[in-house]
Amino acid sequence: MEAYQDMFQLQKHPSSAFARPYSSEFYNILLLEGSGTLSVDFTDYAFAGKIALFTSPYQHLCITADTDFEVDQLIFHGDFYCIEYHKNEVACNGLLFNNIYKQPFITLNDDEIASIFDKLRRELNQNEPHSEPILRSYLQLILAIASRIKKREQQLEADSKLHPVEQFRELVEQHFLTQRNTPFYAEQMGLSHSAFARKVKKHFGKSPSQLIQDRVILEAKKQLHLTHKNIKEVAAALNFEDEHYFSRYFKKHTGISPTHFRDKVGISIVADLSMR
């Protein structure tokens, strides 16, 4: 087991430090206040004001802004805090992290999360015994507060009339393992291919093909991180012809091979528990 200092860090950077795409084996929580454009896995999101941004291992992040501002970055490894293992306490997986259908940040109206960052920084600087469980508790508190905010944001959206293009999300969840061509989904929704692509892009901020690819890659990451399946078995579970084609597909969309991803991110304790 690595020392927690290698798996949990809190750092400050200028936003210009993220001018080029950044990715790592860590989960990231970034606090920032300013305006500009966030690019996460090459999808752009405009932001303004105070936000908290959440990215998962080997997502690509880039920040573009007219003026430089400070970014408070908390990074943690899945071995320090497994978001899937703790899903009963904090259901942030698929909400804050790995939510391919929604913007990857929340708007902050107060300094509650920032104040916990300050407590984390003090705890890290003190270097006292028993710091690790305290840091983990603060992290869980941040995730709980942020999840509550995200759920409120999504509830406001749900209270308005459900957009008809949301059907595409349901179709992707049902068919992404076997149907990866957009004409199938356009036909299911009774739309021409051009109208379908335009409506999906406007609603989700991503093209239909990108959303399908994102869903396949998300499932691949889950299989690599949450199971003991070998690469050939993961490829078969995702309906790829063979592990070589799967490896090329995974590397094309993440920049790393499935083997490298697993080596760096590790296999979750959830995989061991599922075998009992």
pLDDT tens digit string along 54-105? 999 999 999 999 999 999 999 999 999 999 999 888 889 999 999 999 999 9
- Which one of 159, 177, 207 terminates a domain? 159
The answer on 267 and 237 residing in a single domain is: yes
Q: Which of 109, 131, 159 is the last residue of a domain?
A: 159
Residue with tokens 């306490």: 89
CA-to-CA distance for 52 and 42, rounded, in angstroms? 19
Which tens digits make up the pLDDT trace of 19-47?
999 999 999 999 999 999 999 999 999 99
Q: What is the pLDDT of residue 1?
A: 40
| Nearest one of 7, 1, 12, 4 to 131, comparing CA atoms | 4
Query: Any idea what the CATH number is for the domain that residue 83 is in?
Result: 2.60.120.280
pLDDT in tens, 195-246: 999 999 999 999 999 999 999 999 999 999 999 999 999 999 999 999 999 9
Band the pLDDT of 53: cuts 50, 70, 90: very high
The three-class DSSP label of residue 169 is: helix
Residues whose CB falls within 8 Å of the CB of residue 191, separated by 6 or more in sequence, listed in order: 199
| Radius of gyration, CA atoms only, the chain | 19
CA distance 107 to 155: 14
Please tell me the number of Cα atoms within 13 Å of 2 on its side-chain side: 14
End-to-end CA distance of the chain: 22
- In sequence order, what are the residues at sequence separation of 6 or more whose Cβ sits closer than 8 angstroms to the Cβ of residue 195? 186
Same domain, 110 and 37: yes
Name the 3-class secondary structure at 71: strand
Assess whether 20 and 144 both reside in one domain.
Answer: yes
Work out the mean pLDDT of the chain and round it to a whole number. Answer: 93
| The pair of three-digit structure tokens given for residue 275, joined into one six-digit string | 């075998």
The CATH number of the domain holding residue 264 is 1.10.10.60
Tally of residues, the chain: 276
Question: Are 17 and 153 members of one domain?
Answer: yes
For the chain, what is the domain count?
A: 2
Stated as kind and residue range, the H or E segment containing 221 is: helix 208-226
Q: What pLDDT, on the 0 to 100 scale, is given for residue 34?
A: 96
Same domain flag for 22 and 130: yes
What dihedral angle (degrees, nearest 10) is formed by the CA atoms of 108, 54, 177, 228? -140
Question: Could you give the CA distance from residue 66 to residue 154 in angstroms, rounded to a whole number?
Answer: 30
Same domain (yes/no): 76, 97:
yes
Residues 122 and 201 occupy one common structural domain: no
DSSP letters along 134-145, please? HHHHHHHHHHHH
Residue 116 has pLDDT above 70, yes or no: yes
Instruction: Write down which residue in 159, 188, 215 finishes a domain.
Output: 159
Cα angle 79-248-63, degrees, rounded to a multiple of 5: 60
Is pLDDT of 276 > 80? no
The predicted-structure confidence for 148-204, as pLDDT tens digits, reads as follows: 999 999 887 765 556 788 999 999 999 999 999 999 999 999 999 999 999 999 999
The reply to whether 127 and 23 lie within a common domain is yes
Q: Are 216 and 176 in contact (CB under 8 A)?
A: yes
Same domain? For 124 and 196 the reply is no
At 24, list the tokens: 């790592």
Domain span at 172:
166-273
Tell me: pLDDT of 6 over 60. yes
What pTM does this model have? 0.93
- Structure confidence at residue 261 (pLDDT): 98
Residues 138 and 27 in one domain: yes
